[in-house]
Amino acid sequence: MSQLVALSLSIGVLGGIATYIFLAWMPHYLIWAAFIAWACYFGTGGNTEALKKTITCNIFGAICAWVAALLIVSAGGGAGLNAIIVGATVLVLCLGAHVSALSSIPASVYGYAAVFAFLLGNPSANLTKDNLMSASPANALIAVAASMVIGAIFGLLSGKLAGALGKS
């Protein structure tokens, strides 16, 4: 079978399994964030090094966004102050690419964006200091980072499965 068909089949099957796992066993985690990391894994090279870079950069981006969110809810400022906080944390995110482990700016941006997607999807419930400081999936950093790590691992698994199917 062609590599494209093998990869399509592996992603389809594992995508269904991942969705079931998230919905049935991990309802407070984010299947959509897992799929972002899954795609990021292939976008960063689709190999073992890509797995490391995807996980490291997704989490770094999530941390930068979490810091921004915590500063935003703590400062209680308006749009201008919020824009400065986001700008400063994105600057740090990009400058982090000077470190080899953080060199994939797009992967870091995916983590950053996923945190704000989670927070702004229901800001009255999610964007609170209590949630941001909790040791639970109500904390965007925990929910997004865990979901993205799982998604990156599913990326690796789908690539391995596609390799095995493509050889048959």
- Tens digits of residue pLDDT in 93-139: 999 999 999 999 999 999 999 999 999 998 777 899 999 999 999 99
The reported pLDDT for the residue numbered 167 is 83
Least confident residue range of 2-16, 55-69, 115-129, 148-162? 115-129
Helix or strand (DSSP H, E) at 100: none
- Tens digits of residue pLDDT in 24-74: 999 999 999 999 999 999 999 999 999 999 999 999 999 999 999 999 999
CA–CA distance, 142 with 114 (Å, rounded to integer): 12
- The predicted model gives 145-162 an average pLDDT of 98
CA–CA distance, 17 with 65 (Å, rounded to integer): 29
pTM of the model: 0.95
Is it the case that residue 168 has pLDDT exceeding 70?
A: no
